[in-house]
């Protein structure tokens, strides 16, 4: 997870809500098979993109944030810009689809 940021309740406000660039947050859990399949794609995207922060938030360790953002199914990806959710993506996605969402948030 070298390129991915690990989001928690402790750093969420500073790293996500106050970020000057778009932030992609993958809400996941260790027991979620589709989440584990998505992880390598997110790692690649994090290494290939500048001007965006990409990271993960473990819903089991950060249940309050999962509840706040109404994350009931995982994987769920929320893209934040200027502290607001600009896109919600549920379920596994192809890399090109995620790249399109990143580009739209940066644009």
Catalytic site positions: 32, 35
Beta strands in 1-107 (DSSP E): 5-7, 23-28, 53-58, 76-81, 84-90
Strand 76-81, strand 23-28: pairing: antiparallel
**Total count of residues recorded for the chain:** 107
């Amino acid at each position: 997870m070298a390129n991915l940021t690990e989001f928690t309740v402790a750093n969420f406000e500073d790293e996500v809500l106050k970020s000057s660039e778009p932030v992609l947050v993958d809400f996941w859990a260790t027991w979620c098979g589709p989440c584990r399949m998505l992880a390598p794609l997110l790692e690649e995207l994090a290494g290939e993109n500048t001007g965006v922060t990409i990271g993960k938030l473990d819903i089991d360790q950060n249940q309050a944030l999962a509840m706040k953002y109404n994350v009931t199914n995982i994987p769920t990806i929320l893209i934040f810009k200027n502290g607001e959710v600009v896109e919600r993506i549920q379920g596994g996605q192809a890399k090109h689809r995620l790249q399109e969402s990143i580009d739209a948030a940066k644009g």
